[in-house]
A = this chain, B = another copy of it.
Amino acid sequence: MVRKLEKRAPLDDFDREALASLSFRRKIYEPSSYLVREGTLAEEITLILEGLVYRQKLTQEGSRQIVSVHMPGDFVDLENSLLRVADHNVQALTRCEVAAIPVREIIALIDTHPRVGRALWVDTLIDASIYREWIMNVGRRPAKQRLAHLLCEFAARLRVAGLTREDGYRLPMTQEQLGDATGLTSVHVNRSLKALEADNLIVRRRQFVSIPDWERLRQASGFSGLYLHLDQEA
């Protein structure tokens, strides 16, 4: 975690020490259990150690929209700790392990260690950048491309987390969840994935996605990793 934050902003020993001395509780969440519920106050910040997690909102009518997916190394609750009441839900996608840090401690930390605060801030700015790309994905791309783009983004981010293999990666999402993330129906996700497969852009086996030719998929989806700010150095 400290290693990741250092990529966001320069830290000194004083900062690192403060980070290391944060108290935290290890917690396990089962698939589809809630880490945060809309309308509640957050008292802990959680850092994902293992597993995947997603943010989700519901319309009045009850349709679900997944607005982001998070991976090991991501913080999922910086927003809720500073904004008090949560405006969305966070659920476990897979079984996952997290570190829960009391909000008070984080707030105290950022007030006394500005550089740590800045590193965390940068983290939320990258999340925001990903939101912007998702708006475009859902608003302006046709179904096939939308899914291909999502697969590219996951590939890039999972690679950073060390969760990809040379030929592809494990994607533990149902087609219904993919639909909720892309603004499509599960039926149409199914057909679109088959179409991608027919184009030889992806190969699916169980929950594993193989990508025979990264460059071709990238090109087909219009993906450009710029918005992930993976280069983010001090």
Chain A contact residues, CB within 8 Å of chain B: 38-39, 55, 57, 59-61, 63-65, 67-68, 78-79, 82-85, 87-88, 110-115, 117-118, 121-122, 124-129, 131-136, 138-141, 182-183, 222, 226-227, 229, 232
In the complex formed, the residue of B with least CB distance to A120 is: B121
- A115 contacts across to B, CB distance below 8 A: 111
Question: Given A114-B110, A117-B117, are A135 and B232 also a contact pair (CB < 8 Å)?
Answer: no
Query: Across the interface, which residues of B come within 8 angstroms of A182, CB to CB?
Result: 139
Q: Taking chain A's interface residues, is the majority helix, strand, or loop, or is none over half, making it mixed?
A: helix
B132 touches A57 (CB 8 A): yes
How many Å lie between the Cα of A122 and that of B84 in the bound state? 11
State how many copies of this chain the complex holds. 2
Contact of A114 among B67, B117, B132, B135 (CB under 8 A): B117
Q: Contacts A59-B140, A65-B135 known; list 9 others, CB within 8 Å.
A: A78-B125, A79-B128, A82-B118, A82-B121, A110-B117, A124-B124, A124-B125, A128-B131, A140-B183
Distance in angstroms between the alpha carbons of A67 and B227 in the assembled complex: 14
Q: Closest chain B residue to A115 by CB distance?
A: B111
Q: For A134, what are the chain B residues with a Cβ–Cβ distance below 8 Å?
A: 131, 135
A/B interface sample: 25 pairs, CB < 8 A: A38-B226, A57-B136, A60-B222, A61-B222, A63-B140, A65-B140, A67-B132, A68-B132, A79-B128, A82-B122, A83-B125, A83-B229, A84-B232, A85-B229, A87-B227, A114-B114, A114-B117, A117-B117, A117-B118, A128-B128, A128-B131, A131-B131, A131-B135, A135-B138, A139-B183
Complex-state Cα separation, A131 to B133, whole angstroms: 10
Residue ID in chain B nearest A129 by CB atoms: B87
- Kindly state the separation between the CA atoms of A58 and B100 in the bound complex, as whole angstroms: 38
What's the nearest-Cβ distance from chain B to residue A70, in Å? 13
Which residues from B are CB-within-8-Å of A117?
Answer: 110, 114, 117-118, 121
